[in-house]
Amino acid sequence: MGAPGPQSLVPETPDVSGAFPRLTSPQLDALRAVGKVVPVAEGQVLARAGESFASFFVVLEGRLMVYEGDPVGADALFEIHGPGRFVGDIGLLEGEPSFATIAALESGSVLEVPIGELERIVTGDPLLGDVILRAYLIRRSMAIGFGAGLRIVGSRFSPDTRRLLDFTARNRVPHRLLDVEQDPAADAILRRMGLDVADVPVVIVSGSRVLRNPSIVDVAQALGLRKTRPAATSDALVVGAGPAGLAAAVYAASDGLSVVLSDAVATGGQAARSSRIENYLGFPSGISGAELAERSTLQAAKFGATVFAPSTAQSLTADEGALVVRFSDGTSLRPQAVVVASGMEYNRLAVANLDRFEYTSVYYAATIAEARECGADPVVVVGGGNSAGQAAVFLAGTASRVHLVVRGADLGASMSRYLVVQVEDHPRISVHRRTTVVAANGGAHLESVVVEEAASGVREEIPTVHLFVFIGATPATSWLGPDIVRDDRGYVLTGRGATPAGASRGFLETSLPGVFAVGDVRSGSVKRISAAIGEGASVVRMVHEHLETAGYRR
């Protein structure tokens, strides 16, 4: 979008599915009760890119412009908001720095509301709060789709670049890759900043702050994602922030327990990687995994849980009866109880040559970020379960062709019926039944995969640069010590199965007193989001009982 031009010719940004709603008079009155009216002059800056929001702003008179980069540049991104509209996105509620600058397009007035008051409205007012939160979630999704936010300069075939892309995608951070392999703008930026290829990947935050080949923790701190260091002791430490872990944190914190919620990468777990969850109770039109994760994270924070991510748990030991969890950054926590909700790690394809492309061309999630990276290129999706079906349908919205490779003969054997219908009816999805991937070809990057039909042995080479793998997962339990009993597949045993005959254990308690397991990591669990949430909620009662019987209850 070019320069704004005369003010009279600049239209308001049209509302898109509730992204830019106009507040009603009663809603404005509710905000006036906790805010103040402030006059603004033409050109006045209310918030700058790279800085955290100090307040929430609603336009009363005049118009505000939200822009990224140079407002008169040829590639500037704009939003124009008139009376009744508000600015910002979900990062405002999570303490992240703004990716855009907000300025008055003309003189007028705004309603300024402190962030603390806004948080209380969003988490306490079911009508006004949901209007604001829903708009913020949609805006964040749109920003990710547009490639707004931070810039990652590097090669898409570099493992370090892919590591950063995966982290930003998992944390739902708007970003754009400037590929040094094919984007002239990438080379121009490196020259302007006095950098060369040896410095990449480079992360540019808010147009000015440059991070050279940063660690995940470096990026998290620059983005305000890792703001709080947890207290060394707490009532409960929840390791893993998927649906089960989030539920445990929300219910434990709402009961008044001091709770630390940790995750190696981001909140949401595997569920956050789902483009659309259509069989979750209470959401007849479906809900994206990202939205479910954002709403749950805000809910945990509302009740006082401390979110500690990214943070990789490395060990769990019992030191003279006291539980100790050590993390990769050197942090050691001594909670009174531990809830293991570390979930699963994706299985990888055992295919010749594929390890060469593991960190450059193989994906284990299909979200807006991956779809934007793939563009219209043909993609191959491997797997016959719901995750594979959801990925195929979602990617078919942008890819020229989606090849779904399924080992079995019947999609309905492990895929929900509604997904089977969507897959089979989609004109851009080709289903390869009773077929496996047997080889991967390419030079610097993946160029094609070879599939083989089981009955005939006939092989077919499918050109693709992008391979999506959804072939199940194994429990993420390698960080647990020998005191935690597991079954022969590595899942954590709980209840009677975790202890010798006659010993007493709660249904979700492990072989180590005070340590509980919920969700996919637990042996015998039902691999459904609703079941994981149910276990996360149920475990809180057992944590209470442990704290009381062990004399820890404060």
Q: Could you report the per-residue pLDDT of 57-106, keeping only the tens digit for each?
A: 999 999 999 988 654 444 556 789 999 999 999 999 988 888 889 999 99
Q: What is the pLDDT of residue 551?
A: 61
The answer, yes or no, to whether the previous bond of 97 is cis (omega within 30 of 0) is no
Distance (Å, rounded) from C-alpha 170 to C-alpha 410? Answer: 32
**How far is 304 from 300, CA to CA, in rounded Å?**
7
- The pLDDT confidence band at residue 503, using thresholds 50, 70 and 90, is low
Could you give the CA distance from residue 111 to residue 28 in angstroms, rounded to a whole number? 9
Confidence tier at 282 by pLDDT (50, 70, 90): confident
What percentage of residues in the chain have a pLDDT greater than 90? 68
CA distance linking residue 219 with residue 164, whole number of Å? 8
> What's the CA gap between 518 and 539, in Å, rounded?
7
Q: What is the mean pLDDT of residues 137-154?
A: 90
Please tell me the predicted confidence (pLDDT) of residue 281.
84
**Averaged over 112-136, what is the pLDDT?**
94
Alpha-carbon span 417 to 360, nearest angstrom:
33
Greater confidence (382 vs 91) lies with: 382
Two tokens at 515?
């340590």
pLDDT, residue 7, reads 45
pLDDT confidence bin for 2, thresholds 50/70/90: very low
Do 105 and 87 meet the contact criterion of CB atoms below 8 Å apart? no
What is d(CA 107, CA 186) in angstroms, rounded to the nearest whole number? 38
Span of 192-206, 337-351, 367-381 with lowest mean pLDDT = 192-206
Nearest to 57 by CA among 31, 77, 76: 31
Beta bridge partners of 262: 239, 308
Inter-CA distances, 518 with 268, 333, 339, 342, Å: 15, 20, 7, 9
In this predicted structure, the answer to whether residue 475 has a pLDDT above a threshold of 70 is: yes
Place 554 in a pLDDT band, splitting at 50, 70 and 90.
very low
Token pair for residue 456? 């005939």
Distances (CA, A) of 236 to 257, 390, 440: 7, 35, 46
The token duo for 140 is 């964040």
User: Picking from 20-24, 36-40, 62-66, 154-158, which range would have the lowest pLDDT averaged per residue?
Assistant: 154-158
Q: Is the pLDDT of residue 539 over 90?
A: yes
Q: What is the dihedral of CA 357, 359, 365, 370, to 10 degrees?
A: -90
Lowest mean pLDDT among 264-268, 389-393, 415-419, 526-530: 526-530
d(CA 33, CA 68): 32
What is the set of domains in the chain, with CATH numbers?
Answer: 23-144 (2.60.120.10), 148-221 (3.40.30.10), 231-343+472-548 (3.50.50.60), 352-470 (3.50.50.60)
What per-residue confidence (pLDDT) applies to 207?
67
- Cα 145 to Cα 113, 273, 307: the distances in Å are 29, 15, 26
Q: Answer whether residue 552 shows pLDDT above 70.
A: no
Question: In degrees, to the nearest 5, what angle opens at C-alpha 362 toward C-alphas 360 and 363?
Answer: 115
- At residue 118, does pLDDT exceed 70? yes
pLDDT of 279 strictly over 90: no
Q: What is the pLDDT of residue 3?
A: 40
Interatomic CA distance for residues 57 and 439, integer angstroms:
55
Q: How far is CA 407 from CA 177, 283, 425, in A?
A: 34, 31, 20
| Distances, alpha carbon 379 to alpha carbons 370, 394, 428, 445, in Å | 11, 12, 11, 14
Strands in 320-472 per DSSP E:
322-327, 332-340, 344-346, 362-363, 379-382, 402-405, 429-432, 435-442, 446-453, 459-463, 466-469
- Predicted confidence at residue 72, as pLDDT, reads 45
DSSP state of 385: S
Quickly list DSSP for 31-55. HHTT-EEEEE-TT-EEE-TTSB-SE
